[in-house]
Chains A and B, each alone.
Chain A
Amino acid sequence: MRAVITVVGKDTVGIFAKVSTFCAERNVNIVGVSQTILEDMFCMMMQITMDDTDLAFADFADAIKAYGNENGLAIHAMHEDIFNTMHRI
């Protein structure tokens, strides 16, 4: 399945590295990234696939959200379909 990770927080060194390492350690494959800085706020979208990991997606979503909280970042991991459904006819 494909999912989208969003990361929003104050821009500091190493956010991208932290999040991608978190994914790599769990065999979660990153297939697309878009990132920008909006008024000092770091704002990143990652598209991922869960095909190579044994981890249940819901558990991964909980874990990365908690990891974000520990690091002062708002991180969401959500099934891609919710965005496709809402914004595509």
Chain B
Amino acid sequence: MIDLNTADILETIHMIDEEHLDIRTITMGISLLDCADSDIDRACDRIYEKIVRKAADLVKTGEDIEREYGIPIINKRISVTPISMLLGASGGDPVKYAKVLERAATEVGANYLGGYSALVQKGFASGDEALIRSIPEALSVTDHVCSSVNIGSTKTGINMDAVALMGQIIRECAEQTADRECVAASKLVVFCNAVEDNPFMAGAFHGAGEPDCVINVGVSGPGVVRHALKKIPDADITEVAKLVKNTAFKITRVGQLVAHEASRRLDVPFGIVDLSLAPTPAVGDSVAHVLEEMGLEQCGCAGTTACLALLNDAVKKGGVMASSHVGGLSGAFIPVSEDAGMIDAARNGCLTIEKLEAMTAVCSVGLDMIAVPGDTPAEVLSGIIADEAAIGMINSKTTAVRIIPAIGKKPGEELEYGGLFGSAPIMPVNTASPAKFISRGGRIPAPLQSLRN
């Protein structure tokens, strides 16, 4: 007789069929350090050859696992060494790198490729500034390439020259793709305390301390957590936390299985499972709805930060035991445009940018996929980046800003992306100017790590 419990089997199938349990991504990290060359064209040839060789079977392997285990694997992605490191060696037009990454990603069928990146938390090295200034063009002429810039960390403080520059770069990204829903800005993340093994886009890159090639997996599953909470409508919060923890354990175990299997089949070392609860715009797959299931009238009301803190912590506690190596961003994501509940709350004004900023202090990752009015000045965007980076720096956590100035649009209108990116209601922004502060430049010194109140 079957030694598995019938109820357990049905629970698993129900999670997948009805509650949107899926593996969000298998991301192959590939080091391009050995592709560096003083001749940019030769470096590009090496990059193409290495990515196509290493990732040749990535998509097929993902699809095979999907069919055999019956678990949807939504994306197969690639992350590479920050391109600014290669640009530092070669010089030349950085967009050549973006184009070769696009060609390689298309050849192997990857959904996204991240790593058009620079790490400038303490200052600009050779190649860094040129790469950052090329981001608007690079993201306008490619579809699959994603970019990130790390402008601060707890150990170094915040590079305010980079903060000022990124406000302008984000605006240029939006302006250059104004006829395509300003899509370039949605592929650019500004980080504080960026992690080197993040499998999620747009912020994935393959850190310099990583092995030559590695498999990282990101799970999803807000729908499963919400469904579980529905079964205990009147339980106290201790019970709620326990149930989230148990559910996160089950979700993460599937991620661990897929990561192990992908690693074995591709003969590439397993890196980490990222425990993030990643929503999608599909109804029933929303982090906001999980918070509302805990007893909030709508996400954004008083109590939201507390519920999110509970959720984020319980997901980590459950997930850590389920996986042999946990890493990446690991926490609940709150990307506004990608979450049906957040979209509704932003539309009717219950969820504001200020509340989202508070929420980012207790969860992963930051102000994510937020559309703001098209006339928002660059220095206001820089001010938002500085605030978010300060939260990350002081709290020793990753924070990020992925914000989209919706060129030609005002609050009440929306950007429509479809697919995983969803639709972004344009949220009002406090427009009092931080221009003087931003124009000063320099660095915010690294914070004290004791006397923590």
Residue ranges of A at the interface with B (Cβ–Cβ < 8 Å): 4, 6, 32-34, 36, 43, 45-47, 57-58, 61-62, 74, 76-87
Task: Say whether B235 faces chain A, with CB atoms less than 8 Å apart.
Answer: no
Report whether A61 and B70 are in contact in the complex, using a CB–CB cutoff of 8 Å.
Answer: yes
Please, what's the 1-or-0 string for B1-30, where 1 marks a CB less than 8 Å from any CB in chain A?
111111011111100010000000000000
* B71 interface residue per 8 A CB criterion: yes
B8 touches A82 (CB 8 A): no
B interface: dominant SS: helix
Q: Are A82 and B257 in contact (CB under 8 A)?
A: yes
User: How long is the Cα–Cα vector from A46 to B70 in the complex, in angstroms?
Assistant: 16
Give CA–CA (A58, B4) in the complex, Å: 21
B1→A83 contact, CB < 8 A = no
Contact check, A86 vs B253: say whether CB atoms are below 8 A apart: yes
Which residues of B are found within 8 Å of A79, using beta-carbon distances?
68-70
**A82 and B67 contact, CB distance less than 8 A:** no
Partner of B256, one of A6, A34, A85: A85
Cα distance A84–B71 when bound, in Å? 14
- Our pick among B11, B17, B68, B254 for the contact of A57 (Cβ within 8 Å) is B68
The listed residue (B5, B10, B70) touching A82 by CB distance below 8 A is B70
Does B250 have its Cβ within 8 Å of any Cβ on chain A? yes
CB-based contact B8/A86 at 8 Å:
yes
CB distance from B440 to the nearest CB of A (A): 53
Closest to A34 in B: B2
From A45, A82, A87, residue with most partner B Cβ within 10 Å: A82
Chain B residues closer than 8 Å to A86, beta-carbon distance:
8, 12, 250, 253-254
Specify which chain B residues have a CB less than 8 angstroms from the CB of A47 in the assembled complex.
Answer: 2, 4
Shortest 10 CB-CB contacts between residues of A and residues of B: A58-B67, A78-B70, A87-B8, A32-B2, A85-B257, A85-B253, A82-B69, A79-B69, A47-B2, A86-B250
Whether A58 contacts B253 by the Cβ 8 Å rule is no
| Chain B residue at smallest Cβ distance from A61 | B67
B256 touches A83 (CB 8 A): no
B1-A81 in contact (CB<8A): no
Q: With the chains together, A16 CA to B389 CA distance in Å?
A: 60
Q: Is B64 an interface residue (CB 8 A)?
A: yes
- For B1, the chain A residues whose CB sits under 8 A away are 32-34
| Residues on B facing A (Cβ under 8 Å) | 1-6, 8-13, 17, 64, 67-71, 250, 253-254, 256-257
Residues A83 and B8 in contact in the complex (CB < 8 Å), given A4-B2, A32-B2, A33-B2: yes
Q: Are B13 and A6 in contact (CB under 8 A)?
A: yes
A85 to B70, CA, bound (A): 14
A18 to B9, CA, bound (A): 21
User: Would you call B2 and A76 a contact (CB within 8 A)?
Assistant: no
A-B contact pairs, 24 of them (CB 8 A): A4-B4, A6-B9, A32-B2, A33-B1, A43-B6, A43-B10, A58-B68, A61-B67, A78-B12, A78-B13, A78-B69, A80-B4, A81-B69, A82-B71, A83-B12, A85-B253, A85-B254, A85-B257, A86-B8, A86-B12, A86-B253, A87-B8, A87-B11, A87-B250
Contact A45 B9, CB 8 Å, known A82-B254, A84-B4, A87-B250: yes
Instruction: Point out the residues of chain A lying under 8 angstroms from B9, CB to CB.
Output: 4, 6, 45, 83
For residue B231, give the distance in angstroms from its CB to the closest CB of chain A: 17
Complex Cα spacing A4 to B71, Å: 14
Distance of A87 Cα from B250 Cα, bound (Å)? 7
- Shortest Cβ gap from A78 to chain B (Å): 4
Task: Determine the distance from Cα of A86 to Cα of B6 in the docked complex, in whole angstroms.
Answer: 13
Q: How far is the CA of A83 from the CA of B4 in the complex (A)?
A: 8
Give me 7 other A-B pairs in contact (C-beta within 8 A), A45-B4, A83-B12, A87-B11 excluded. Answer: A6-B9, A34-B2, A34-B6, A78-B13, A80-B4, A82-B254, A83-B9
CB neighbours of B12 from chain A (8 A): 78, 82-83, 86-87
Given contacts A81-B257, A83-B8, A87-B8, contact A62 B67 (CB under 8 A): yes
